[in-house]
Structures are given as structure tokens and as C-alpha cells.
Chains A and B, each alone.
Chain A
């Protein structure tokens, strides 16, 4: 690295790259880009190796795609397959927001609040950039939607790598501790959707060999997530909705009957839950998707509740309470 090379900030190089690729009709070869575009040309050696500059260009392409900037390549007609003659460009039609997509001040207000929901987690950068693009349109929100501070907490470490894999359509690997089991097992699956159901984040995925779909609770992924480079075909849209519908089917089929102390915290929380009903003798009927998860939750309510049925749930709650009592004895 020559110490005399003029330092151009990364954003200036990226901005110049986008401008050059938007302005070209026929595309630019890598050599043209490296030798003429601001930020590259200062480091380009006309005779000699440009390996580090080429790696820089590869990283910059990733950065542009990361931002959703459509970067396309055209094969040279006379010399197909030759990387050196590939031409790069950003097609205007795929880059620009279509002219019929504009937002009213009311919509802008709502979108501002929708972005705020993600302020805590890994989607905050995406939401923040979406707002920048929205503001680019120059619409002023009607009145700031004061008085709300909603957020999704996204505390599961697995969320970020899974979301990245979801976008790239590549297989992921992780260790999963199935509710009710004591040992985690290694899984390798094709991620189809991330979805939130009853306040918990889930991964909807397909096993590559069996083609069976499975639902995983993010908080039970007990290892780091490995994002592989094995790609699979992009699934049709609506996978998240499909996963929620499937889980709802399970949820509908499972019914627990619980005696609840009137006026208690348990009565307030469980009684207002979707699908909860009160039986003739005052007991509460609750739907659930997973007995082990419900057992954890019910154990937390202590003496405010007692499980009547099913008996497996009752036993699971008793076992948990015995463990808590023993651990604190």
C-alpha cells in the first residue's frame, strides 16, 4: 500500500459508483470502473496488479446489494463467460421508486410509527434506512403520532443471521433444544419465514431431504446460527402467513382447562388472551400451541391457577413447581 494514495471516504466512493452505474446505458467493465470512478481511480495501477482494489470492488458490490440497490451484469456478447468483459450497471427502472408510489401525510405518519417498532433490534438499521427513503419524497407527516412507543423486543440472538439467510435463500445450521427434551440436536434447514406468534419469534423452515416443514422457537436455538452458502429456490410469497395458519391449527386443537383465582394477575392476563373462554363453573379454557411452553407460563402464576386438564399439562406444571421449590429450599 503506497502511503501517498489520496484517501477518499468510503461513502464518496460508493456514491460515485452508484452515479456512474446509473448514468451508463451499456454498462461499465470492471476495468473501466476501477480506472475511472472516484475513489478507485486514485488507487488504480494501469500496469500491474490491482488485487486489493478488486477485492474492494467486490465488497462494495455487496454493500450496494445490502442496501437494496439493484446491481446487474451483462455478459459480453462476443465473449460470454469472460469475467473481465462483464459489464455492470444499475437499471434505472429497478432502482427508482415508481412514480405512482407516493405516500400521503397520514400514511407517512403511520410508517414512521411502524419503523419505530424496530428501534431495539437488528431490523432498526433497515427501518431507519426505509424512513430516509420515505423522507426523500419530501412529504411531511400530518402530526407526529405522539403518545405511542410500541416496540418488538427481538432479543433472540438468532434473529439477525436467520433474517440474512432468509434474504439470500441459503440453508442455515443450528442446535435446537426441542421443548420437553433435554438434549439439543443439530439441524440444517432451509429458512422460509420468520414470524411472531403469541409474542414469540419462530422460524418456519423446510428440511432439505424430507421436504417436511418445521417450526422452531427462536429462544430454543441454543447455538450460534451458521449461515451456509448452499442456496435453495426462493419460496413463493406468504410463507409467514402460512406458518401462522399452521400454528393456529395446532393452537386451536389444544385446549387446557384451568381454575383461576378471580381478580388475580393470572385472571387478568389469561382471561384477556385471544380465544380464552369461561366455562359454566367459572374455569378458564385456554388454547395453546405447545404444552411445555404453556406449562412454563402457568407455573409462573403460582397459586393463582391450578390446571384441571389435560393431565399431561397438569403433571408438567407440578414438576416445574417442585423443581422451583427444591431450587429455592
Chain B
């Protein structure tokens, strides 16, 4: 993560639905110059066709929304913990809804260059203790320390 790292971390984000989450995180990417103006709509549209909710376990559900790299200027990941869970559909079964509490929005410019970071991110999903810590963070700084340790 770069020096704008704090802008890429949302703690206990309040949102009514997943579109609000996607818009807030997408706006952070757009404001940071990582994506162009088409990215947010592309993410929302993609999420409705090919959902990204992951059922990690009974308490923790993650979503990894993203869009085509044509909307991306520079690779980045935005993280949000949600104050209240928001429904995302299940990547495994789009008709099933999951109460997601952690969201990682991915801006992917060059999949090959970001493969290692993406693999580390998914590797982190295997570690429920780390995910639990992320749900419990109350400051951006706490989350930043965990994410930098896991993803760098």
C-alpha cells in the first residue's frame, strides 16, 4: 500500500446495501486516481451478474468486488469493515445471499503483476483469526498494520 493508504481503509462503514458500499469504495479509488469514472458502474453491474461474496465461515463473510482492468489506471485494494453486515450474493451460488462484513475492492491493472498480492489476499482468507482481527479493528491504523503485514 502506498502513502495514501489511509484513504483506502474504511472502518465500520455504514451502508444500507451493497450498492452503497460499492459506490463509497469505488469513489475512494476514483478520487485517488486509481480508476476512471466508468469503474463504479462497472463494479455494480459486474456484482449483479457475477457476485463476489465468499462464505468464509459462520461469522465472517467477505466480498471481493472488482471490474475489468480497462477501467483501472493503477492497481490498488480498498478495504472496508462494515458496521452492519450488508447482503452480497454468493460467488458459489448467485441465488444465495450472504451477510458480508468485510469488503476488499480490487482495482486490477495487470493481473500478472498483482498475482502475488491477490494470492496473499486469498491466503489471508484461510486465516480466520486475521479476518476476525480485521472485523474488530476500531481505527484505520490497526487495520493498516494488519493489511501491510499480510499483503506486502
| Chain A partners chain B | no
Q: Interface residues, chain A, CB within 8 Å of chain B?
A: none
